[in-house]
């Protein structure tokens, strides 16, 4: 059985080369992965300015005993060029307004009283007080946002501050999701007592979208060899990544593997040493000349297994296709409030709640860890990762933890 780390490395390797870049408006760039380095076109800030409402002065003019009385001459406001400061005077200035030539400090207005045209200053500023210097945040040409960054709202703000209205991002991967099984019906639809509401594609489509993909759920596929092959062929023609759910065990009705092969997919069926999960079909259908291969991920049908395997393999794959430099989130360390029985041999991903306490992070594994139980994934904040070579975990032990939110799950 393949170790988790090796299986992940093999999945991520399928994402090279990444998808091509496209140009988008900043408005549409949230959550996209930057396909260029963004540098500032000019010094940031572009000119010296005041961080306060108050008076611009030359600190040397306030060397004597306090309070100091200076005549008020002129005004510097945002959006206007400032006149120079007359020696021995103070200039009214507002937050964000340019520092006038000749001034080197700001006295905030709370420390000034006005007597007509005279400012009475009750504090002496040190040179540079409340002045934001040109280029102190970023020099012209300096790297502001690195290629491979998944853009968050703060990055959009920074790109705009660097005078960019558009950025290059990698194209969204397209995902087709197929659920297999004669027992499936759409939620809310009538069906016999032998049917169950199909639940996996709802979770997987949403996870794929949060990972930056355009995802579409195809009609449910019955447990029939020809129908399964036809459905896979259609999906393979229209997506970068085809995700199938169910039918990957070795039962008589597990038709996914032969149907994928019939549709021209080269398959690696892996038994990955993880719990839940284990069987995972990974494959590739060679693209037409010049086109990239279509990647296939075949997930187990049990809801908790499907969601966990898609979170730890599918989401990182979709991110890597976008050239995300951090496709897999970091592990946190936490202590467990409860013991967790663990048989060595597989990496266990136990669904758990997470709680910050005064003495650090604590996790509580949920009681129902059955791979068919969608409740525990919904109730969980995190996956407690118990290494395959480790034995039982005692209450109070430190464990590695993955935040489900960081996997978009």
Q: Is residue 313 a contact partner of residue 295, using CB atoms and an 8 Å limit?
A: no
Dist CA 151 CA 159 (whole Å) = 10
E strand intervals along 116-195: 118-121, 131-132, 143-145, 166-170, 174-179, 184-185
Extract the runs of DSSP E, i.e. beta strands, from 258-344.
266-271, 274-275, 279-285, 294-299, 332-336
What SS3 state is found at 54?
A: strand
**283 interacts with Mg ion by CB under 5 A:** no
298 binds ligand AMP (CB under 6 A): no
Q: How is residue 336 written in tokens?
A: 């467990």
| Strand stretches in 136-271, DSSP E | 143-145, 166-170, 174-179, 184-185, 196-197, 214-217, 241-245, 266-271
- 199, interface contact from Mg ion, ligand AMP, none, CB < 5-8 Å by kind: ligand AMP
Residues in 232-251 that interact with Mg ion by CB under 5 A: 246-247
The rounded distance, in Å, linking the Cα atoms of 118 and 106 is: 16
- Minimum CB–partner distance for residue 190 and ligand AMP (Å): 17
195 makes contact with ligand AMP (CB under 6 A): no
Contacts with ligand AMP by CB under 6 A: the residue count is: 19
Q: CB of residue 280 vs Mg ion: minimum separation in angstroms? A: 15
Smallest distance from ligand AMP to CB 363, Å? 26
Segment interacting with ligand AMP, rule: CB under 6 A, options 67-75, 167-175, 179-187, 332-340: 179-187
301 binds ligand AMP (CB under 6 A): yes
- Site for ligand AMP (CB under 6 A): which residue of 54, 125, 148, 181? 181
Q: How far is the CB of 180 from ligand AMP (least distance, A)?
A: 6
Question: 367-396: which residues touch ligand AMP (CB under 6 A)?
Answer: 372
| CA neighbours closer than 13 Å in the CB half-sphere of residue 350 | 25
Closest approach of Mg ion to the CB of residue 181, in Å: 4
How many angstroms separate the CA atoms of 246 and 254, rounded?
A: 8
Which residue, 169 or 259, has its beta carbon nearer to Mg ion? 259
| Residue 125 found at the interface with Mg ion (CB under 5 A) | no
Q: Which of 181, 276, 277, 327 binds Mg ion (CB under 5 A)?
A: 181
Q: Which of ligand AMP, Mg ion, none interacts with 265 (beta carbon under 5 to 8 A by kind)?
A: none
Rounded to the nearest 10 degrees, how much is the dihedral formed by the CA atoms of 333, 337, 339, 340?
-50
Q: Based on CB atoms, which residue is closest to Mg ion, 34 or 178? A: 178
Q: H helices within 16-165, ranges in order?
A: 153-161
Q: Tell how strand 294-299 and strand 241-245 pair up.
A: parallel
Q: Which two tokens stand for residue 52?
A: 């306060």
Minimum CB distance to ligand AMP smaller for 40 or for 309: 309
| From candidates 119, 121, 217, 245, binder to ligand AMP by CB under 6 A | 245
Return residues touching ligand AMP (CB under 6 A): 179, 181, 183-184, 196, 198-201, 245-249, 300-303, 372
């Amino acid at each position: 059985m393949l170790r988790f780390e090796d299986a992940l490395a093999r999945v991520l390797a399928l994402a090279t080369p990444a998808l091509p870049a496209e140009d988008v408006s900043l408005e549409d760039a949230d959550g996209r992965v930057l396909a260029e380095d963004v540098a500032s076109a000019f010094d940031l800030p572009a000119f010296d300015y005041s961080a306060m409402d108050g008076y611009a002065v030359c600190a040397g003019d306030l060397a004597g005993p306090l309070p100091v009385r200076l005549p008020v001459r002129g005004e510097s406001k945002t959006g206007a060029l400032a006149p120079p400061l007359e020696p021995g005077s103070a200039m009214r200035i507002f937050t964000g307004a340019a520092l006038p030539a000749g001034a080197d400090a700001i006295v905030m207005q709370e420390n000034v009283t006005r007597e007509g045209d005279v400012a009475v200053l009750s504090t002496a500023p040190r040179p540079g007080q409340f002045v934001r210097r040109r280029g102190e945040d970023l020099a012209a040409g300096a790297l502001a946002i690195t290629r491979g960054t998944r853009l968050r709202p703060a990055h959009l703000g920074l790109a705009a501050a660097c005078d960019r209205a558009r950025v290059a991002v990698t194209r969204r991967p397209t995902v087709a999701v197929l659920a297999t099984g004669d027992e499936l019906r759409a939620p809310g639809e009538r069906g016999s007592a032998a049917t169950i509401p199909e639940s996996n594609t709802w979770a997987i489509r949403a996870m794929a979208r949060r990972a930056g993909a355009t995802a579409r759920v195809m009609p449910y596929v019955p447990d029939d060899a020809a129908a399964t092959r036809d459905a896979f062929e259609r999906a393979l023609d229209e997506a970068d990544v085809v995700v199938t759910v169910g039918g990957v065990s070795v039962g008589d009705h597990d038709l996914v593997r032969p149907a994928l092969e019939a549709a021209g997919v080269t398959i690696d069926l892996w038994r990955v040493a993880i719990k839940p999960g284990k069987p995972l079909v990974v494959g590739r259908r060679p693209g037409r000349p010049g086109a990239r291969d279509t990647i296939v991920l075949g997930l187990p049908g049990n809801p908790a297994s499907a969601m966990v395997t898609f979170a730890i393999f599918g989401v990182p794959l979709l991110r890597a296709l976008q050239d995300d430099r951090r496709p897999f989130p970091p592990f946190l360390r936490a202590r467990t409030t409860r013991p967790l029985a663990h048989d060595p041999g597989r990496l266990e991903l136990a669904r758990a709640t997470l709680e910050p306490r005064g003495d650090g992070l604590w996790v509580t594994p949920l009681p129902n860890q059955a791979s068919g139980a969608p409740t525990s994934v919904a109730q969980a904040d995190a996956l407690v990762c118990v290494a395959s070579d480790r034995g039982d975990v005692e209450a109070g032990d430190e464990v590695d933890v993955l935040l489900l939110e960081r996997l978009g799950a």
